[in-house]
Amino acid sequence: MPSADATLSVTSAALLLHAAAQRGADAAALSQAAGLDASQLHNPDGRLPIATMQRLWPLAAAATADPYLDLHLAEHANPAQFGLLAYVLMHSPTLGAAVQQLCRYQDIACNGTRTSLRRLGASIELVVELTSPAIVHPHFVLNSELLVYLQMLRMLSGQPLAPEAVRLAYPAPADAREHRRVFAPAPVQFGTPDSALRLPAAVLELPVLNADPHLLALMEPRAAALLARLQQPTAALPDRVRHEIVRLLKGAAPTLAAVADALCLGSRTLQLHLRQAGHTYQQLLDEVRRELAEQHLHDQHHSTTDIAFLLGFAEPSVFVRSFKRWTGQTPGAFRRAAVAA
């Protein structure tokens, strides 16, 4: 996916809203102000445009009167909150294996950043790079990701891991005392070429508490499949939408939200991309239904009622009206003409 179209898991927004609510903010009002459909938060595999999360961050910081909300987000984080990717990490045998999985499946959490592991003799660094131009508030992203990673490693291992150093690729704030407190005892550098969390290399050998290899064997193929879907090109998005409509068209017309979920996109992102390609979702749904209807009408074994059901119409009469709007003919007239031909 091009970086301008990058998305992240709705679990990130859910965590931020939870943290804001714990500090007295109105989560529903924040969602509405950021243009976030609250119903999306209930889908663990749902995606949001990064631009939506970038709108949410400053709104949440203002609503909580906490200018360091990004530095405090990890206090509310639990690995299980991050869905499929979290379960892959929780059942990896060691922290080293978990970090490798994090780097491999990073796009499931957010494909607008890149996480990598750098080895430096007796130390290692978790490096976070920003790859999406939609990230206009880099400090929110870099602070929260590095601290969530540190919290995750501590919870997976059950050890109070202490970072050796922290680099942050944005200018130093006027007051960095809170940065130094949350990353203690590590020294914190600002304005560096990259952002990284340095730890002793020995942490990679620590076992993950309660890791279950059988659950890992179940979860990892699902993560690989989800990653493959996320990395599909968007050049033929209308064709991918048509494909998902056909796949989901089983007794009821698939909604825009259902197709967006299947494509790992937010509903609004899907609408925007379709509009840029000169399409609407309703137009594509009608095209698919019309094409399938004509195929079924050439087959004498399907009645009009059967076809209406197959195409997801609640009543045959609605199908008849729709087909006449599409073709200028009733289904019966179309079938008779097809037989005569």
pLDDT of residue 5: 64
pLDDT of residue 190: 98
Where do the domains of the chain lie, and which CATH numbers do they carry? Answer: 3-226 (3.90.1520), 234-340 (1.10.10.60)
| 197-229 pLDDT tens trace | 999 999 999 999 999 999 999 999 999 988 887
**Identity of the highest mean pLDDT range in 22-36, 40-54, 202-216:** 202-216
CA-wise closest residue to 85 among 206, 212, 224: 224
Query: What value does the mean pLDDT of the chain take?
Result: 90
**Where residue 236 falls among pLDDT bands split at 50, 70, 90?**
confident
| 142-171 pLDDT tens trace | 999 999 999 999 999 999 999 999 999 999
| 300-334 pLDDT tens trace | 778 999 899 889 998 999 999 999 999 999 999 99
Prediction pTM value? 0.70
**Identity of the highest mean pLDDT range in 74-83, 123-132, 228-237:** 123-132
pLDDT of residue 4: 47
Alpha-carbon torsion (128, 131, 134, 137), positive or negative: positive
**Where residue 68 falls among pLDDT bands split at 50, 70, 90?**
very high
Check whether 25 has a pLDDT greater than 60. Answer: yes
For the chain, give the secondary structure using H, E and C.
Answer: CCHHHCEEEHHHHHHHHHHHHHCCCCHHHHHHHHCCCHHHHHCCCCEEEHHHHHHHHHHHHHHHCCCCHHHHHHHHCCHHHHHHHHHHHHCCCEHHHHHHHHHHCHHHHECCEEEEEEEECCEEEEEEEECCCCCCCHHHHHHHHHHHHHHHHHHHHCCCCCCCEEEECCCCCCCCHHHHHHHCCCCEEECCCCEEEEEEHHHHHCECCCCCHHHHHHHHHHHHHHHHHHCCCCCCHHHHHHHHHHHHCCCCCCCHHHHHHHCCCCHHHHHHHHHHCCCCHHHHHHHHHHHHHHHHHHCCCCCHHHHHHHCCCCCHHHHHHHHHHHHCCCHHHHHHHHHHC
